[in-house]
Amino acid sequence: MIAVGEIDIGNTQRDAAAIAGVGHTEYSKNSGVTTLTLAIRAVQAALADAGLSQHDVDGVACHRVGDSVDPALVAQALGVRDLRFVRDVFGGGSSCIAPLDAAATAVATGQARCVVVWRALNGRSGVQMAGAASNPALSADAQYWLPYLHASAPQQFAMFARMYMHKHGLTAEDLGRVAIAQRAHAALNPRAMMRRPITMDDYLGSRWIAEPLRLLDCCQQNDAAVALVVTSTARARDLRRTPVTITATAFGGGGQLASNHRSDPTVSGAHAMAPRLYAAAGLGPDEIDLAELYDAFTPLVPLQLEAYGFCKRGEAGHMIREGAVRLGGVLPINTHGGHLSEGYVHGLNHVAEAVLQLRHDCGERQVPGAEVALSTAQPGVNSGLTGAVILKRAA
């Protein structure tokens, strides 16, 4: 959604579509099934959650990076009789909001009545997105990385993390507090892969992956699928669950680490995009009750606290030290444990958690009275794209 002059184009679709159902598969190290099977299982779970069936579906949308099933095949396997809308987005975590935005737009404009959105991957037992053995042709920046054997995602994000820590005085202990807080949240989440609480000694004692990133700074690698059911807000009110409306989405350009042409590489695409998101939603950061922030690596959390206006630049470390991001704090983040502890479904599990929080379905980890949530894509660090969505509990 963008604004042109004084006209906010995003307002025309604000809260017109809603997420009516959420579905998960098990998070595992080896699913033993194809990504088609994972997708079908998650979609069927989401439809059952909404009180719908596959015969209600007339649209499909997903994102993938050559590591998952064609959405048209999912539609066929579901037995969709009249497929009216298909969106197949190329991209990983930076693109995770795009299929949700497409589904909401399709519903709001009458292209489809019920669109299922999913991400399915065998990221541990099958194809690992952006692993060192993945196709370097996916990024033009590979020409700068490969001569130095600088190919994996942890290596690339380690360079950003070092710059960010140096510029803003962020310490290893600050990153550790992110990992510890999210593990504490995961301990309350039966789906989470990693539920054992961790201490600062555990964090500092975890092995190096690519300095300054330790093992506990890095997300899980797993097999899993997550799905959402998107329909009109009016229709969702007649279904099984409390509707969660899609209030606004926004997208922005990121930058590759080696060739991003940014004067300050620690400023992400999310910094420029966030004002457009809030303008489209008609609210500000002080009205967000919880945030599910993309956390492939711990440094992305303080970066986004600043980018989305929850604190000033350079103050995220203080916010984290004060406990603001924990359950019971002023802005609980990654209440399911995030990618660090629940599992890595490239941002869509963050949207799913936001929906469950706004439905007040999260049990021990519930944020009391949650009404508005932010869920983000990878913030545009080492990537050409970012995005985010603001969701509301329907009145």
In this predicted structure, what is the pLDDT of residue 395? 81
In a domain, 139, yes or no: no
In this predicted structure, what is the pLDDT of residue 148? 82
- Domain boundary among the residues 176, 207, 236 is at 236
Q: Are residues 64 and 205 in the same domain?
A: no
In a domain, 57, yes or no: yes
Strand 17-24 vs strand 223-232: parallel, antiparallel, or unpaired?
antiparallel
In this predicted structure, what is the pLDDT of residue 262? 72
Q: Are residues 170 and 30 in the same domain?
A: no
pLDDT at 10 over 60: no
Question: Which residue segment(s) compose the domain that 75 sits in?
Answer: 17-128+226-236
pLDDT at 106 over 50: yes
In a domain, 145, yes or no: no
Q: How confident is the model at residue 17 (pLDDT cuts 50, 70, 90)?
A: very high
Question: What confidence tens digit (pLDDT) does each residue in 169-213 have?
Answer: 999 999 999 999 999 999 999 999 999 999 999 999 999 999 999
pLDDT at 1 over 50: no
Chain mean position to CA 200 = 26
Q: Are residues 211 and 269 in the same domain?
A: yes
Q: How confident is the model at residue 257 (pLDDT cuts 50, 70, 90)?
A: low
Q: Which of 93-102, 144-153, 237-246, 336-345 has the lowest mean pLDDT?
A: 144-153
Which of 164, 278, 294, 308 is labelled catalytic?
294
Q: Are residues 175 and 273 in the same domain?
A: yes
Q: How confident is the model at residue 132 (pLDDT cuts 50, 70, 90)?
A: very low
Domains contained in the chain, number: 2
Number of H helices, E strands in the chain: 13, 13
In this predicted structure, what is the pLDDT of residue 7? 35
Q: Is 294 part of the annotated catalytic residue set? A: yes
Q: Which of 43-57, 68-82, 124-138, 233-247 has the lowest mean pLDDT?
A: 124-138
Averaged pLDDT for residues 71-89 = 96
Q: Are residues 84 and 100 in the same domain?
A: yes
Cα–Cα distances in angstroms (integers) from residue 131 to residues 37, 124, 158, 346, in the given order? 23, 11, 15, 14
In a domain, 347, yes or no: yes
Q: Are residues 293 and 232 in the same domain?
A: no
Q: Are residues 350 and 376 in the same domain?
A: yes
Q: Are residues 121 and 184 in the same domain?
A: no
- Domain boundary among the residues 207, 236, 265 is at 236
- Domain boundary among the residues 180, 203, 236 is at 236
In this predicted structure, what is the pLDDT of residue 296? 97
Alpha-carbon distance of 182 to 272, in angstroms, equals: 27
Which one is predicted more confidently, 330 or 257?
330
In this predicted structure, what is the pLDDT of residue 365? 98
Yes or no: say if 300 and 94 are a contact pair by the CB < 8 Å rule.
Answer: no
Which CATH number characterizes residue 32's domain? 3.40.47.10
pLDDT at 137 over 60: no
Which of 27, 164, 308, 344 is labelled catalytic?
344
In a domain, 64, yes or no: yes
Yes or no: say if 226 and 353 are a contact pair by the CB < 8 Å rule.
Answer: no
**Neighbour count for residue 146 (Cβ, 10 Å):** 11
In a domain, 101, yes or no: yes
- Output the average pLDDT for the chain: 92
Q: How confident is the model at residue 336 (pLDDT cuts 50, 70, 90)?
A: very high
E strand spans, the chain: 3-4, 7-8, 17-24, 59-64, 85-90, 114-122, 208-210, 213-214, 223-232, 244-255, 290-292, 372-376, 383-393
In this predicted structure, what is the pLDDT of residue 138? 55
pLDDT at 217 over 70: yes
In this predicted structure, what is the pLDDT of residue 134? 52
Q: Is 344 part of the annotated catalytic residue set? A: yes
In a domain, 137, yes or no: no
b/e string for 52-73 if b means 16 or more Cβ within 10 A?
bebebbbbbbbbbbebbbebee
In this predicted structure, what is the pLDDT of residue 331? 98
What is the three-class DSSP state of 290?
strand
Q: Are residues 106 and 253 in the same domain?
A: no
pLDDT at 393 over 90: yes
In this predicted structure, what is the pLDDT of residue 108? 97
Q: Are residues 170 and 115 in the same domain?
A: no
In a domain, 138, yes or no: no
